[in-house]
Structure 1
Amino acid sequence: VFFAEGRAQIEVARMVNDAYADLIAKRPGRFLGFASIPMDDPDGALRELARVLDELRLQGVVLLSNIRGRALADPAYRPFFAECDRRKACVFVHPMIPAAAEPFGEYVLGPIVGFPFDTTLAVARLCYAGVFKELPNIRWLIAHAGGAIPYLLERLDSGWRDFAECRANIDEPPSTYLKRLYYDTVTFSPNNLRLLRDVVGTDHLAMGSDYPHLLGSIDKAISSIEGLDWDATEKERVFSGTALALLANLPARLAHVV
């Protein structure tokens, strides 16, 4: 969707979302979907948001960490996020190659380093811009364990304390808002998962696999959690409990598993 241009972007989004809805209708107990949104067209984005949530009954929307180089924190997107907030929608932020892509062109650094880098940048900008403060009802799910956000929490808070620009739009340290977000577990590193659990708790962690991306793995998604010294209740929360609490209509759909 994000590589299409103009009117084609709206058409591609509708095609993709209709395909998701058709698959879910055929196997309602096995599949769910996040909708693609034509963010280059503000009015079209709002129309498609209403359609996918009201008519197709998808579970939320997925956005890339930048839209053709434009930050998600750009004021142009605020009406869209305001509507997401009104609807208490789930917004899944997945990384994209950073806008300044040249440094990531060798050694496959785009997905290896660029993805978590751009996730970190997108979330930090959304936070400092006041989006998380002003629109607290959006259920944000951040891919790849939040990039470097958990590691940088204290540094982000220091920026808020030390620089007036970082306090202009938020009343509390960034960590206050960032701990309210949800994060998937696509890091597969026990040390990283322990840090994330210490920061946000397992009730804000949801298992992710990144499958079928080359860096993704269903086996690692499971084993990285099973191998942790967490009790069964915490592991079950990460495997399914957080998703049940986070995604709209999920418990009802699970009742129809075949």
Structure 2
Amino acid sequence: MNRRHFLTATVASGAVAAVAAPPSGIIDCQSHLFFPEVIEMMRKRKAEPLVYDEKGMAILKMGDWLRKVPPFYLDVDAKLATMDKNGIEITMLSTNDPGPEWFGADGPAVAQLIHDSLAGVIAKHPTRFRGLCVLPLQNEKAASEELDRCVKKLGFKGVLLYTNLAGAWCDEAQFHWLYARAEELGMPILLHPAKPMTTEVVKGYELTSTLGNMFENTIAMARIIASGLLDKHPKLKLVCPHLGGTLPYISGRMDHQLTVLKRGPQNLQRKPSEYLKSIYMDIVSPLPEAMRFALDFSGADKLLFSSDHPWVEPSAILDPLRSLKLPAADEQKILSGNAREFFGLA
């Protein structure tokens, strides 16, 4: 029986119990869940980041950046229902910021709490979720030990790396060990925007998510390319989210600045655009024209379906993708085939 339709398990009596699974086998590579244990921990904190309640709604506070956390952001059943509705077979599940790096000396304990909570969800739904870890990168020793625990004990499949880590860009020297270790382990790194470094200039008109997060992706990926990390670690498995922010559209300018005008590092082995084409991008950008540009730029082999649920309904990404009427083989690569190979899923 095709596993896209049913997952079966033989019970002690010899009977076979069938568990329905979505028919289309989509893999969602960016989807998030807040965990009750973590929210409760943040409610008890007096220092930020913290959570307080207002009119029955949990509010996450990081300075003047306030975000609502409605109950369904913590609801595993609600996420499963959304997955089923949209034909998503497997979700690569992670928390969202604030990551452990915002908690100072408490970061290692916070990372362990997040990962134990995530592992508990996966244990209850092992066919539907795989885990992505977030590391307390302010403490290299603790982060390295937690990475090993997540890989060897918890069976997580990747690292969610924030574009900035409490104000430090993710390409800075103190984080280089992570890229080396991830390459050694074959462990994918998925970039994800955090509280933007540009918050002050985009908070007017509530443009933080609209612009700030996309600038974060753009700047962080451009810095990784310019740093030479992709030359040092050619086998690194890396994902830039949201169709690369704005970087694919300005990569020609970056090529010109670095290779013609000789502005910036001159020790790179390739043009910046060639590095960008060598990594993966997820397609969280609900505009078919942007998806088409990414396809023309990178090719179907380098794109991954992601939803960014619960902030985005999966249909907001699936519908524009399907409107392109791609060849079936290309659509299948984007929806699941690339992810199965990238994450080493059975």
Query: Normalized against structure 2, the TM-score is what?
Result: 0.69
Shift of 1:209: 0.9
Instruction: In structure 1, give the amino acid aligned to 2:264.
Output: C
Match among 237, 246, 250 for residue 342 of structure 2: 246
Corresponding residue SS for 2:340: helix
Structure 1 counterpart of 2:47 = none
Corresponding residue SS for 2:190: strand
Structure 2: how far apart are the matches of 1:98 and 1:27?
33
Structure 2 counterpart of 1:229 = 325
Does structure 2 conserve the Cα–Cα contact (< 8 Å) formed by 1:32 and 1:58?
A: yes
Identity of aligned pairs, percent?
Answer: 28
Structure 2 counterpart of 1:256 = none
Shift of 1:180: 1.1
Whether 1:21 aligns to 2:156 is no
Corresponding residue SS for 2:189: strand
Shift of 1:67: 0.7
Structure 2 counterpart of 1:95 = 193
Structure 2 matches for 1:69-218, cutoff 5 A? 69-213=167-311, 216-218=312-314
Shift of 1:166: 2.7
Structure 1: how far apart are the matches of 2:342 and 2:229?
19
Whether 1:58 aligns to 2:156 is yes
Question: Structure 2, unaligned stretches of length 5 or more?
Answer: 1-98
Cα RMSD (Å) of the superposition?
Answer: 1.4
Structure 1: how far apart are the matches of 2:218 and 2:165?
15
Structure 2 counterpart of 1:254 = none
Shift of 1:17: 1.0
What stretches of structure 1 move > 4 A for 4+ residues in a row?
none
Instruction: In structure 2, give the amino acid aligned to 1:25.
Output: A
Structure 2: how far apart are the matches of 1:169 and 1:55?
39
Does structure 1 conserve the Cα–Cα contact (< 8 Å) formed by 2:161 and 2:191?
A: yes
Corresponding residue SS for 1:29: coil
Structure 1: how far apart are the matches of 2:217 and 2:300?
20
Shift of 1:3: 6.0
Shift of 1:5: 2.2
The answer to which structure has the higher helix fraction is 1
Count of residues in Structure 1 that have an aligned counterpart in Structure 2: 248
Structure 2: how far apart are the matches of 1:82 and 1:124?
19
The answer to which structure has the higher strand fraction is 2
Shift of 1:100: 3.6
Corresponding residue SS for 1:5: helix
Shift of 1:155: 1.0
Once the two structures are superposed, residues 120-150 of structure 1 have per-residue CA deviations (whole angstroms, 9 ceiling, x without a partner) of: 0000000000011111222111111110111
Task: Name the larger-Rg structure.
Answer: 2
Instruction: In structure 2, give the amino acid aligned to 1:46.
Output: S
* Pair 1:2–1:162, CA change in 2 (3 A): farther
Does structure 2 conserve the Cα–Cα contact (< 8 Å) formed by 1:60 and 1:92?
A: yes
Shift of 1:200: 0.9
Structure 2: how far apart are the matches of 1:100 and 1:204?
28
* Pair 1:116–1:100, CA change in 2 (3 A): closer
Shift of 1:8: 1.2
Question: Structure 1, unaligned stretches of length 5 or more?
Answer: 252-258
